[in-house]
Amino acid sequence: MSSSDDDSQQRFALGFLFALIALVISVVVGTVVVKRLGAKAPVQPAAVAASNAPAAPAVAVEEDIASVRVENGVVKFYFATAKAELAAGANEALADVVKGVAEGKKAVVSGFHDATGDAALNAELAKQRAFAVRDALKALGIAEDKVELKKPEETTATGTNAEARRVEVTLGAL
């Protein structure tokens, strides 16, 4: 075998090795780019997707952030996973409830929980969330006998766990 044959084989092996390394690097870089661009891709919110429906527009609830909303006179507190802390703005959202109780009505507090995980633990957490809302009402001057706590219910709301993790406050007759 001549030395030129050995040189050719070495060059071929080195070329093949460099091509293989370049292929691996491009696959890794491509994967990273796709993941980063995929994470930044706009997602159509549920409220926009449901806007064509004749029913009331859906409320987009972020998966793991506590929030509070007032819809048709119902105060809805949404909770982060495994948490019972009220969102900022709770007192302002409860202003109409406080006014209604002062006018002779009672505050009805209903807890809900999602269907994932242990049902007994979920029910207990829903109860703790309802207690947190009751305590907020008491802090706003509502007597405990003017607050009715309902047994926690399992629900999937409109389909997401974030919407199911909630407490609703309505006004009822004494």
Give Dmax over CA atoms of the chain in angstroms.
106
CA dist., res. 125 & res. 152, Å (int): 9
Q: For the segment 80-114, what is each residue's pLDDT rounded down to a tens digit?
A: 888 889 988 889 999 999 999 999 999 999 988 87
Q: Is 79 left (phi over 0), alpha (psi -120 to 50) or beta?
A: beta
The answer to whether residue 164 sits within a structural domain is yes
- Residue 7: half-sphere exposure toward Cβ, Cα within 13 Å: 3
Specify the number of domains making up the chain: 1
Residue 10 corresponds to which amino acid? Answer: Q
Q: For the segment 108-138, what is each residue's pLDDT rounded down to a tens digit?
A: 999 888 778 888 888 888 899 999 999 999 9
The answer to whether residue 118 sits within a structural domain is yes
Q: Are 38 and 26 in contact (CB under 8 A)?
A: no
CATH number of the domain that residue 152 is part of: 3.30.1330.60
